[in-house]
Amino acid sequence: METNDHEIIFSRAVKAGKRIYYLDVKKNRKNEPFLAITESKKIVSNTADNPQFTFEKHKIFLYKEDIEKFMEGFLEVVEFINSSKLGREKTELEDIGRNINIDFDKFE
């Protein structure tokens, strides 16, 4: 299969309040998968009578060789947030599985 640069092979959008997070698995020129995470936030400017909408975007790229270490750190942070005494109730984040295995071979 012929692929172009950064072809999206799998995607999920996560709506969270004023933000949308896009989780896109893409392939690079070497046909290797990587994860592109994009945060998109709607910005409203001007007056209520004449609103102007723009989107502020931030991206992070995670490469196959870094995902396992990233997930370890991510899950540690989620565990800290869920166990902290910040006066907030525990969230669904505590239900994130500890055995997350990503099989990149199935994307080849």
pLDDT in tens, 30-44: 889 999 999 999 888
Q: Is 1 domain-assigned?
A: no
> What's the CATH number where 23 sits?
3.10.450.700
Amino acid letter for position 11? S
State CA 62 to chain mean position distance: 10
Q: Is 2 domain-assigned?
A: no
Name the more confident of 11 and 45.
11
Q: Answer for the pair 59, 35: CB distance below 8 angstroms, yes or no.
A: no
CA-CA distance, 106 to 51, in Å (whole number)? 46
Amino acid letter for position 32? E
Q: Answer for the pair 26, 9: CB distance below 8 angstroms, yes or no.
A: yes
3-class SS at 96?
coil
Residues 56-84: tens digit of each pLDDT: 999 999 999 999 999 999 999 998 888 87
User: Into how many domains does the chain fold?
Assistant: 1
**pTM exceeds 0.85, yes or no:** no
